[in-house]
Amino acid sequence: MNLSIAIPDSSLLDETTILNKTKKISIMARTCAIFKVKQIFIYQDGKQNKNDSALLSTSLKYLETPQYFRKEVFPKTQLLKYAGVLQPLNISSHLTTSNQKMIKIGDIRDALIINYKGKKFLDIGINKHIQYFGNVKSGTRIAIQIKTTQPELTAKEISRDSIKDYWGYSVKERSNLLSILSTWKGKIILTSKKGKNFSRLDAKKITDPNEPTLIVFGTTNKGIYDILGSNIKKIQNANVFNFFPNQGTQTIRLEEAILGTLSIINIINHNYNEK
């Protein structure tokens, strides 16, 4: 299923330390990877969350980047002070060997384009760089497929969309939620305890595995109705659902809401594909 989520830059306000904020981000990133989320939109919720927004965006991008060229992509920064507590995603693009002898024709990897002595090369996480002859600028991350291993290692650039395995999420920042919703081409699910209780009939309406679906979350202290206000009536192709009827707690934390909602959507999609 083609899933994306949208979360506010105020997502970390209920944590007081950078350490705990980082741990929260780790849980959200792992959940997105488990359920194969393609895009994570971070939308501005006011103008007071600049530091948290940078921490959220940087940490999510760091976690999704293959370990073998993180140091090249992310210079030292206080935002990643507690990167050690971030749990690995263990997605296909990260589970690669550094042993050149184990690389086979047809293998797919992420590569970082680097400059060396005036020429471009690909860093694919082994002790040998592959010369790159394309037009993409240095510092760019691309997906490649191994063409030959002997007499030399060569690769061709491929589209991430052509990769069958889950290859990670992209992180996109937007000035406000309405700007995302007004340009989204596909189904929109707004999550709120004020919404309609999610039912089997509703499930049948959102089980098209090919149509992009955006799931939108508010925060513990500020729901979708608070964030959108009267603009909620202007959104096309959207439904407001409560995925946690009869909840036993007064509030549901964002990381809990993402995990619970995506779990329900995943079961629905799985059952649909089995029919």
**Interval 265-272 mean pLDDT:** 75
CATH superfamily of this structure's domain 3-89+169-274:
SPOUT methyltransferase, trefoil knot domain (3.40.1280.10)
pLDDT at position 23: 97
Q: Which fold has domain 100-157?
A: OB fold (Dihydrolipoamide Acetyltransferase, E2P) (2.40.50)
d(CA 35, CA 48): 31
The answer to whether 119 and 96 are in contact (CB under 8 A) is no
Q: Domain ranges in the chain?
A: 3-89+169-274, 100-157
Phi, psi torsion values for 150, nearest 5 degrees: -140, 145
- The predicted pLDDT at position 271 comes to 63
Quote the CA–CA distance of 24 and 167 in Å, as a whole number. Answer: 22
Per-residue pLDDT at 274 = 56
pTM: 0.93
pLDDT range class, residue 69, cuts 50, 70, 90: very high
